[in-house]
Structure 1
């Protein structure tokens, strides 16, 4: 049976027992596409920016489940932490955290200290949390701080939003690092409340997918990584249009549908995804 449609890694999976092959379908897969490649390029450029008074920052935004987290994780894998044995300090070029559900400065600093594994007193004041955070980060020497779920800023009052935005500006200025804010399409709205901060944070959008050659190439990438014995011909017009309609153009939903459909194709022995498989998994998740 021809297996030329598969990437060598996926080809090896075909020899696994059925249950292991199905389990392998559930892992996250990285598939390059132009917008993600450009996002990674911009992140690298920010990371390589030399220290200066006004560090450049970015707002990476798009609908939920569009693939922002996958981009962040790939970037983190490319920039892993290291240990400076001479100084006895862990160095993290890139630090990633989540914005607390409400814009509270104390909770922000506590979340950041937890991510970097620093101790914190239960009754610490905001001033002491700020001081400890800056002291620890100076020793770790990060070049970038990624703050996910930044649209949570909108859950607070105008005053709380401004305080949290000022906190981000303070960290960028004090530590001479670039800050990348990630969130839904509401994220840029939060930054527009402060003209000075808005001018520093350049927006970069990950839009919903539409029918295009880029989307067909993306589907070809999935087909090469799904361990099925037969080619699924995912770039057929009816499959492309159905996937876009059923997923609403969200990469995460496209990935889930293809993985679930591949599982059906393994179980029924057809070994290729068909429109019927996609319709079945789409209806199962309504």
Structure 2
């Protein structure tokens, strides 16, 4: 049985007050952050976190289905949903050596057999080239049931096209798995409502059996609340920097929202890289200057850059030359 990728870190070591090398301190703190269920406790992840609640109740014969439609970067939040369910199930049962959550990535152009092989590969089920699709399905359903899988997350579901013969067979395979495995199934994809996933007879069956959760980027404001600021404060509480001043990141929430366009993945990478840099250069704190020095992904950087180039007067003012345009040379 493989070790689950969502298992939490062990107890904190006593490296903070000395007694170990700087490299071990860095490795210990880098592995711990973010070391708690920040995204489950913060309000922006609540729509996605609802998909994880189905794994906490008693097991039943019938499975629950969710379809989560994301804007770009669905995997970051989906893995947090899986980690939340894993930690909740571990706390409920007290058994750490278990795999209550399964994560399957739909390969491009997936057929029914290759998709079934992906389910088997996650739990390390041995396969041979001579095995038929029915044999793989039987092995997968038996192993998942014996392992006590409570949540099955299927990512990149928008790659399936039920209009094609290959996509139709893969869609039928997923329908059979939901009936044979008593777990909550979460399908995640990008703009699933605009894809052929919900069209045709098979698409109508999926739409009739699943609940759609539309997740967008985190807004800076939602009524009287500030969900992005709350998420930033929760992430700051996870930092293990000795010289960092509490409240610095929440005050920078407007800047961080503009910098990351409200995307959880971009925000987590920005703060993680800033924390690693602060540990390596011995400053032990995050500032706006250190955040500015970090280059994010292309989508976030493209959003952060101005859409229109600055005028020549603005560029001269930024460069410290406010005396107006240079004088033209007199003709000879």
Normalised by the length of structure 1, the TM-score is: 0.76
Matched residues in 2 for 1:262 and 1:93: separation? 31
For the pair 1:77 / 2:87, whether they are aligned, the reply is yes
Where 1:243 maps in the other structure, the secondary structure is helix
Where 1:235 maps in the other structure, the secondary structure is helix
Structure 1 residue aligned with 2:309: none
Identify the match of residue 67 of structure 2 among 42, 59, 64.
59
Structure 1 residue aligned with 2:78: 68
1:33–1:214 Cα contact (<8 Å) kept: yes
Identify the match of residue 107 of structure 2 among 94, 100, 104.
100
1:135-183 CA-to-partner distances (Å, cap 9, x unmatched) read 44454454442222323325x8633222222211111123344321123
Where 2:240 maps in the other structure, the secondary structure is coil
Matched residues in 2 for 1:284 and 1:168: separation? 33
Structure 2 residue aligned with 1:259: 272
What do you get for the CA RMSD once the two structures are aligned? Answer: 3.5
Pick the structure with greater CA Rg: 2
| Offset, 1:217 | 1.7
Structure 2 residue aligned with 1:247: 260
Structure 1 residue aligned with 2:168: 162
Matched residues in 1 for 2:13 and 2:287: separation? 19
Larger relative contact order (CA 8 Å, sep ≥ 6): 1
Listed as ranges, the gaps of 5+ residues in structure 1 are 1-8, 81-89
| Offset, 1:106 | 0.7
Structure 2 residue aligned with 1:84: none
Matched residues in 1 for 2:126 and 2:218: separation? 43
1:161–1:190 Cα contact (<8 Å) kept: no
1:189-224 CA-to-partner distances (Å, cap 9, x unmatched) read 353121111121212233212213221122122222
Aligned pairs for 1:5-20 within 5 A: 13=16, 17-20=21-24
Normalised by the length of structure 2, the TM-score is: 0.67
Q: How many residues align?
A: 266
Structure 1 residue aligned with 2:294: 281
Listed as ranges, the gaps of 5+ residues in structure 2 are 1-11, 91-96, 302-332
